[in-house]
Amino acid sequence: MVSAGPHSPLMGGDKSAAAPSPEAAAGSSVNVSGERAVSQNVVAELLGAFQTISFTELGFAELGDVGGRLGGTLGSSRRLCEAGPGDRRCWFHGDICDSHFVKLLFETEKIDIVLHFAAQTHVDLSFVRAFEFTYVNVYGTHVLVSAAHEARVEKFIYVSTDEVYGGSLDKEFDESSPKQPTNPYASSKAAAECFVQSYWERYKFPVVITRSSNVYGPHQYPEKVIPKFISLLQHNRKCCIHGSGLQTRNFLYATDVVEAFLTVLKKGKPGEIYNIGTNFEMSVIQLAKELIQLIKETNSESEMENWVDYVNDRPTNDMRYPMKSEKILGLGWRPKVPWKEGIKKTIEWYRENFHNWKNVEKALEPFPV
């Protein structure tokens, strides 16, 4: 199941130290909640091992063909499609903040494993809609983990963010570093972590928390920096840079992050936190110039500057999020997709699919609030 709610721009005992094998999982159902760039790939990978994937979206994705593919809401059950022969997927349209719906879903679908991606994630928006972020990200997570606990699911994976650490110019964060979030989005994710972790501390309910670097790849909504810059340039518009553009971010391709989640699903220990990071780091201005080179086919510094528009910075904008990822590396995970390969695939996907997004113009503004 991929869970979510209408607020998103989209999606005891320890009996689960490892995920079931494909053979053992023949009757298992998985709940995956969230971010399209990652969750679609997670679902695709899980289909080979698990008989049923049910998923609930925070709201319909802006891709124009989603309504047609899913067929609209079918009655009070909110089931959006009936699985065909051999199809192990099933979608439900619901809200993670609707405790009655979530509880009923767990009771009727017999879910064994939860991967919870669903959240409000746009940092810019969080500054002006902080209460909404708190409601969806904190209350919604509490609803979901509570229902999962009552249903005695075998493992609950909560997908958090490197932003809970706050920024650092030099010190690398490991999983024991204190949480010092500096924006409402990161604060809501940090608070949600506390609720999730409390279910392990109090009930020994098998939860696992992940904190990943920035994800990029196909299917990501254009409010995020990479698809935003790509989309702007492909429509002959300038990349909007917050502040100096010297802030750096670590970028992981979507399929590498998917492999990380599957590794945690299979090998992650209940009660633990895993950083999912990469040594590949790039400033926002460098990112813009690389995309300008690839899309506008120019290496001229002056020409590249013509495609950049410097705008006011966010109220707070952390310079770096350096993380240590030794724990998940110890489980055997490694990022595999080089930047040049991943970014070319991403550019090509948006070239072919951007027209399918609906109501995307607002997302391309410097501060889409």
Indicate which CATH number applies to the domain containing 360.
3.90.25.10
Catalytic residues, which ones? 162-163, 185
- Answer whether residue 79 is part of any domain: yes
Residue 92 confidence (pLDDT) above 90: no
Same structural domain for residues 231 and 151?
no
Residues 297 and 178 reside in one and the same domain: no
Residues 231 and 168 in one domain: no
> Is 10 a member of any domain?
no
CA distance 113 to 32: 8
> Under a CB-based contact definition with an 8 Å cutoff, are residues 19 and 266 in contact?
yes
Write down the mean pLDDT value for the chain: 83
Residues in contact with 120: Cβ distance below 8 Å, sequence separation at least 6, in sequence order? 7, 8, 9, 126, 129, 132, 133, 136, 137, 185, 188
Kindly state whether residue 87 falls inside one of the protein's structural domains: yes
pLDDT given for residue 5 in this prediction: 36
Helix (H) or strand (E) segment spanning residue 239? strand 239-242
Same domain for 199 and 296, yes or no, is: no
Tally of structural domains, the chain: 2
- Based on the domain organization, do 166 and 308 belong to the same domain? no
Q: Which residue has the higher pLDDT, 79 or 209?
A: 209
Residue 290 lies inside a defined structural domain of this protein? yes
Q: Quick check: is 2 in a domain? A: no
Q: Are 181 and 311 found together in one domain?
A: no
Residue 348 lies in a domain: yes
Q: What does pTM read for this prediction?
A: 0.84
Same domain, 162 and 234: no
Closest by CA position to 367, among listed 299, 311, 322: 311
State residue 49's pLDDT score: 59
Note whether 55 and 198 are same-domain residues.
yes
Q: What does the pLDDT average to over 270-290?
A: 98
CB 70 within 8 A of CB 83: no
SS (H, E, C) 173-199: ECCCCCCCCCCHHHHHHHHHHHHHHHH
Q: Give the separation between CA 339 and CA 19, rounded to whole angstroms.
A: 30
Give which of 184, 179, 100, 102 is closest to 135, Cα–Cα: 184
Domain span holding position 82: 29-215+252-276
Q: Are residues 285 and 144 in the same domain?
A: no
First to last CA, the chain: 30
Two structure tokens written together for 123:
């940092």
pLDDT of residue 163: 98
CATH number of the domain enclosing 116: 3.40.50.720
Q: List the Cα angle 270/271/273 in 5-degree steps.
A: 105
Shared domain for 241 and 346, answered yes or no, is: yes
pLDDT band at 239 (very low <50, low <70, confident <90, very high): very high
In tens, the pLDDT along 52-84 reads 444 554 433 222 222 322 233 323 345 555 555
Asked whether residue 237 falls in the same domain as residue 96, the answer is no
β-sheet with 52-57: strand ranges across: 89-93, 52-57, 29-33, 113-116, 155-161, 207-212, 273-276
Domain for residue 355, yes or no?
Answer: yes
Separation CA 313–CA 366 (nearest Å): 10
Gap between the Cα atoms of 253 and 248, Å rounded? 16
- Contact 55/92 with Cβ under 8 angstroms? yes
> Residue 37: its pLDDT value, please?
61
Q: Is residue 23 part of a domain?
A: no
Name the residue with higher pLDDT: 118 or 139: 139
- Does one domain contain both 295 and 350? yes
